[in-house]
């Protein structure tokens, strides 16, 4: 009997602590066994500029991650050759086709008499999520279709790249017995389990290595290039340099060799493990956190190896909160894998694992291209979001805090379909990991059934970047804004803007949205925004009450002298623009976005949240009330429907404007 062992490397690109390691297999008497290790760049589902995500159409795997993976595979090939004298085959194409070709070359086809029976043993690290499981099915179908006798084909998927495999865990019922919250999981695991020792890297093998060195889709010597994987020249070019502000380790490369170097450097040489608990929320530099994630994600670094190093460090130097926390984070990573395995496809659903109804009320989502583009490109007018998104876009990395902030902002404040964000992360992150990414996203978007945890972006900015260093690093156009306003530049007065030379609305945008806590953010229609942008020029500069009135009411039909409160508010915005004589190109685009709701309370509070208008609002309303005979009925109604002083000011302003335009309004 001849046995063909195929080690299909997937997200386990390492030799240390690799449980899939076929060189450890015992050989039965008289058995001839051949080892064929292979890595497949799946150009039909993952790599290349034409492979897009389902919801947003983002490229699935950006060129930077593809390059990182090529480096990791190159490194693995060298190690296999050096340590075991084994050739790694590298292929491009669909795994089900590549593996079939490989098997065909080594096994007699169905129906033909084989001189010697061959059994095929295909082994890989177990994948958990839907798309990967579909690949498994396709591979299985393809090989089973070729090998007639099912008993001669064995497809083994082995748990790996975890601290704890299911068999190490103290829960009954396998994956389904795992607690529904992380805290319960952690308490049980910490009380009852110890992280198993990592496996040593193999130093020799008794298996013969493959004689096959080249097929149509694979080779034992060549390595695909980015162009060969389907990336454009421009995308390839973008990977040539590392951004100088990148917080990834200097000179980083994909692969196990660099991963082990980084672990040694960060834990031991730089002694950063000692203070990790205090530094982990940092935003700038390569050492505030481990930066192990890109290597953990593709399996070039084993979490058990990291846990063992932490234990060794505790014995040799110090055991403290920081050494505990590093392993704690890896446990979070484990939990998210089990969470993904348990919930299957639901981690990709719009309504997450919590289901369609959240607290009885339907979440409303949008896919507004303007909001999405502003978020992706880092020009929302909220400096912390813009800095974070620019870092991600330029370097392929973002701190955990940054990820939480931009996730909350997109999915809660903007109410944008969270999958658009998750897919963008998938495209850009060097450390993209399907379980960590999607479970963190549904968690951050409040779709796992727990409490909705909205991040107050301005507060986050003040808390974690007190002096605005991170903001100035990534958003240079606001560099000269004084510390007082760096976290909320829209609060600057005209004088403050002139003094620092940064004009909001021209040098840097007004906030594209008013962050909202109630998830009921409603947008003005595209048509309305377009109209207001055009009007921006039309209404600048009219003098005299009649001219102002005409300019304000322009293009908006008023039936029976009556308008809705929303329209009146829209008039108010136009009036403010005229009175301030400060209208800039983008002003109306953003202000109309800032005042989106049609509920009175939402309008009045959002109106007063914008300090620049607040001053002019009260001044104008008082002046107008003095000058004109106010529409007292409207004023009273507006005030009554609002319970606080802000409502009073707003109500008065609306009433005054209604009077000025000789119209009434309905609430």
Ligand X SMILES: Cc1cc2nc3c(=O)[nH]c(=O)nc-3n(C[C@H](O)[C@H](O)[C@H](O)COP(=O)(O)OP(=O)(O)OC[C@H]3O[C@@H](n4cnc5c(N)ncnc54)[C@H](O)[C@@H]3O)c2cc1C
- For residue 477, what is the DSSP state? G
Residue 431 binds ligand X (CB under 6 A)? yes
Of the listed pieces 164-172, 439-447, 606-614, 647-655, which binds ligand X according to CB under 6 A? 439-447
Residue 333 binds ligand X (CB under 6 A)? yes
Exposure on the CB side of residue 360, measured as CA atoms within 13 A: 0
Residue 433 binds ligand X (CB under 6 A)? yes
Which H or E element spans position 323? Answer: helix 321-343
Q: Which is nearer to ligand X, 11 or 399 (CB)?
A: 399
Q: Which is nearer to ligand X, 299 or 596 (CB)?
A: 299
Residue 407 binds ligand X (CB under 6 A)? yes
Residue in the block written with tokens 């496996």:
199
Binding-site members are 276, 289-293, 431-433
Of the listed pieces 218-226, 351-359, 374-382, 437-445, which binds ligand X according to CB under 6 A? 437-445
Smallest separation (angstroms) from ligand X to the CB of 516: 20
Residue 460 binds ligand X (CB under 6 A)? no
Answer for which of 399, 605, 606, 652 binds ligand X (CB under 6 A) is: 399
- For residue 154, what is the DSSP state? E
Residue 329 binds ligand X (CB under 6 A)? yes
Judged by CB under 6 A, the number of residues near ligand X is: 28
**Residue 157, helix vs strand vs coil:** strand
Among left, alpha and beta (phi > 0; psi -120 to 50; other), residue 58 is: beta
Smallest separation (angstroms) from ligand X to the CB of 246: 13
Q: Which is nearer to ligand X, 298 or 658 (CB)?
A: 298
| Beta-carbon count within 10 A of 323 CB | 21
Of the listed pieces 93-101, 376-384, 440-448, 449-457, which binds ligand X according to CB under 6 A? 440-448
Answer for which of 289, 322, 631, 642 binds ligand X (CB under 6 A) is: 289
Q: 127 vs 11, 35, 199, 365, 433, CA distance in Å? A: 8, 22, 20, 30, 11
Smallest separation (angstroms) from ligand X to the CB of 80: 25
Rounded to whole angstroms, the Cα distance separating 128 from 166 reads 13
Smallest separation (angstroms) from ligand X to the CB of 59: 15
Q: Which is nearer to ligand X, 407 or 497 (CB)?
A: 407
Residues 6+ away with beta carbon under 8 Å from 655: 625, 630, 631, 632, 634, 635, 636, 638
- The alpha carbons of the chain give a radius of gyration, in whole angstroms, of 30
Smallest separation (angstroms) from ligand X to the CB of 333: 4
| Beta-carbon count within 10 A of 479 CB | 13
**Listed residue (95, 109, 99, 75) closest to 5, CA to CA:** 99
Q: 310 vs 13, 276, 303, 319, 328, CA distance in Å? A: 22, 12, 11, 9, 11
Residue 417 binds ligand X (CB under 6 A)? no
Binding-site members for FAD are 276, 289-293, 431-433
Of the listed pieces 159-167, 187-195, 313-321, 432-440, which binds ligand X according to CB under 6 A? 432-440
Residue in the block written with tokens 């940054």:
402
Answer for which of 119, 388, 427, 440 binds ligand X (CB under 6 A) is: 440
Residue 437 binds ligand X (CB under 6 A)? yes
Burial class of residue 147 (count of CB atoms within 10 Å of its CB; 0-12, 13-18, 19+): buried
Of the listed pieces 255-263, 430-438, 460-468, 484-492, which binds ligand X according to CB under 6 A? 430-438
Residue 429 binds ligand X (CB under 6 A)? yes
Residue 291 binds ligand X (CB under 6 A)? yes
Residue 599 binds ligand X (CB under 6 A)? no
Residue 416 binds ligand X (CB under 6 A)? no
Residue 441 binds ligand X (CB under 6 A)? yes
Answer for which of 444, 489, 597, 634 binds ligand X (CB under 6 A) is: 444
Q: Which is nearer to ligand X, 415 or 605 (CB)?
A: 415
Residue 296 binds ligand X (CB under 6 A)? yes
| Beta-carbon count within 10 A of 222 CB | 10
Torsion of CA 460, 464, 469, 474, to 10 degrees: -50
| Beta-carbon count within 10 A of 632 CB | 10
Q: Which is nearer to ligand X, 405 or 591 (CB)?
A: 405
Answer for which of 3, 403, 529, 612 binds ligand X (CB under 6 A) is: 403
Smallest separation (angstroms) from ligand X to the CB of 252: 12
- For residue 598, what is the DSSP state? -
Residue 588 binds ligand X (CB under 6 A)? no
Torsion of CA 269, 273, 274, 278, to 10 degrees: 130
- For residue 524, what is the DSSP state? P
Q: Which is nearer to ligand X, 42 or 433 (CB)?
A: 433
Rounded to whole angstroms, the Cα distance separating 510 from 528 reads 18
Smallest separation (angstroms) from ligand X to the CB of 191: 21
Residue 336 binds ligand X (CB under 6 A)? yes
Residue 330 binds ligand X (CB under 6 A)? yes
Number of residues in the chain: 667
Continuous H helices in 221-292: 233-238, 256-264, 276-279
Of the listed pieces 74-82, 379-387, 403-411, 489-497, which binds ligand X according to CB under 6 A? 403-411
Q: Which is nearer to ligand X, 331 or 568 (CB)?
A: 331
Residue 69 binds ligand X (CB under 6 A)? no
**Listed residue (137, 113, 115, 136) closest to 126, CA to CA:** 136
Smallest separation (angstroms) from ligand X to the CB of 425: 6
Residue 400 binds ligand X (CB under 6 A)? yes
CA 163 centroid distance within chain:
24
Q: Which residues pair with 665 in a beta bridge?
A: 563
Work out whether strand 89-92 and strand 218-219 pair parallel, antiparallel, or are unpaired: antiparallel
Residues that bind ligand X in the complex, under the rule CB under 6 A: 280, 289-293, 296-297, 329-330, 332-333, 336, 399-400, 403-404, 407, 425, 429, 431-433, 436-437, 440-441, 444
């Amino acid at each position: 009997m001849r046995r063909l062992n195929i080690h299909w490397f997937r997200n386990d690109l390492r030799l240390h602590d690799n449980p899939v390691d076929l060189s450890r297999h015992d050989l039965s008497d008289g058995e001839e066994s051949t080892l064929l290790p292979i890595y497949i760049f799946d150009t039909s589902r993952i790599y290349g500029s034409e492979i897009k995500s389902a919801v947003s159409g983002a490229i699935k795997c950006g060129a930077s991650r593809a390059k990182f993976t090529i480096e990791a595979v190159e490194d693995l090939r060298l190690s296999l050759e050096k340590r075991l004298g084994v050739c790694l085959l590298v292929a491009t194409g669909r795994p089900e086709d590549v593996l079939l070709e490989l098997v065909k070359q080594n096994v007699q086809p169905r129906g033909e008499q084989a001189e010697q029976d061959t059994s095929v043993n295909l082994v890989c690290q177990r994948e958990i999520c839907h798309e990967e499981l579909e690949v498994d099915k396709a591979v299985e179908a393809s090989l089973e279709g070729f090998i007639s006798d099912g008993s001669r084909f064995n497809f083994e998927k082995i748990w790996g790249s975890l601290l704890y495999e299911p068999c190490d865990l103290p829960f009954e019922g396998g994956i389904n017995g795992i607690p529904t919250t992380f805290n319960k999981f952690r308490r049980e695991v910490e009380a009852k389990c110890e992280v198993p020792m990592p496996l040593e890297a193999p130093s020799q093998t008794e298996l013969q290595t493959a004689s096959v060195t080249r097929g149509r889709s694979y080779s034992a010597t060549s390595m695909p290039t980015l162009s060969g994987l389907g990336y454009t020249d421009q995308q390839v070019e973008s990977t040539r340099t590392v951004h100088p502000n990148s917080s990834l380790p200097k000179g980083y490369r994909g692969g196990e060799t660099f991963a082990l170097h980084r672990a040694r450097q960060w834990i031991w040489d730089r002694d950063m493990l000692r203070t990790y608990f205090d530094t982990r929320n940092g935003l700038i530099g390569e050492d505030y956190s481990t930066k192990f994630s890109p290597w953990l994600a593709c399996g070039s670094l084993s979490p058990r190896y990291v846990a063992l190093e932490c234990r060794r460090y505790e014995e040799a130097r110090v055991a403290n909160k920081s050494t505990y926390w590093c392993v704690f984070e890896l446990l979070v990573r484990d939990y998210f894998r089990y969470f993904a395995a348990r919930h299957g496809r639901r981690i990709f659903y719009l309504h997450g694992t919590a289901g369609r109804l959240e607290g009885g009320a339907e979440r409303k989502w949008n896919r507004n291209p303007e909001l999405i583009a502003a978020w992706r490109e880092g020009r929302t007018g909220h400096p912390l979001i813009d800095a974070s998104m620019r870092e991600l876009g330029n370097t392929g990395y973002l701190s955990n805090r940054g990820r939480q902030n931009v996730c909350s902002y997109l999915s809660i404040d903007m109410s944008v379909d969270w999958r658009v964000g998750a897919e963008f992360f998938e495209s850009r992150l060097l450390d993209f990991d399907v379980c960590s990414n999607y479970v963190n996203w549904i968690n951050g978007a409040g779709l796992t059934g727990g409490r909705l945890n909205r991040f107050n972006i301005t507060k986050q900015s003040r808390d974690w970047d007190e002096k605005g260093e991170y903001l100035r690093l990534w958003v240079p156009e606001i560099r000269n804004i004084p510390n007082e306003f760096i976290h909320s530049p829209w609060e600057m007065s005209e004088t403050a803007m002139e003094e620092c030379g940064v004009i909001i609305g021209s040098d840097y945008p007004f906030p594209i949205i008013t962050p909202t806590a109630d998830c009921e953010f409603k947008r003005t229609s595209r048509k309305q925004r377009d109209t207001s942008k055009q009007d921006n020029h039309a209404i600048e500069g009219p003098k005299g009450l009649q001219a102002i009135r005409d300019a304000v009411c322009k293009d908006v039909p008023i039936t029976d002298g009556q308008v809705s409160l929303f329209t009146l508010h829209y008039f108010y915005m136009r009036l403010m623009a005229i009175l301030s004589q400060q209208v800039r190109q983008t002003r109306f685009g953003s202000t109309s976005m800032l005042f989106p709701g049609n509920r009175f309370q939402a309008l009045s509070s959002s109106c007063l949240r914008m300090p620049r208008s607040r001053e002019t609002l009260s001044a104008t309303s008082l002046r107008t009330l003095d000058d004109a005979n106010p529409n007292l009925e409207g004023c009273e109604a507006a005030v009554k429907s609002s319970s606080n002083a802000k409502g009073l000011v707003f109500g008065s302003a609306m009433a005054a404007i209604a009077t000025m335009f000789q119209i009434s309004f309905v609430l």
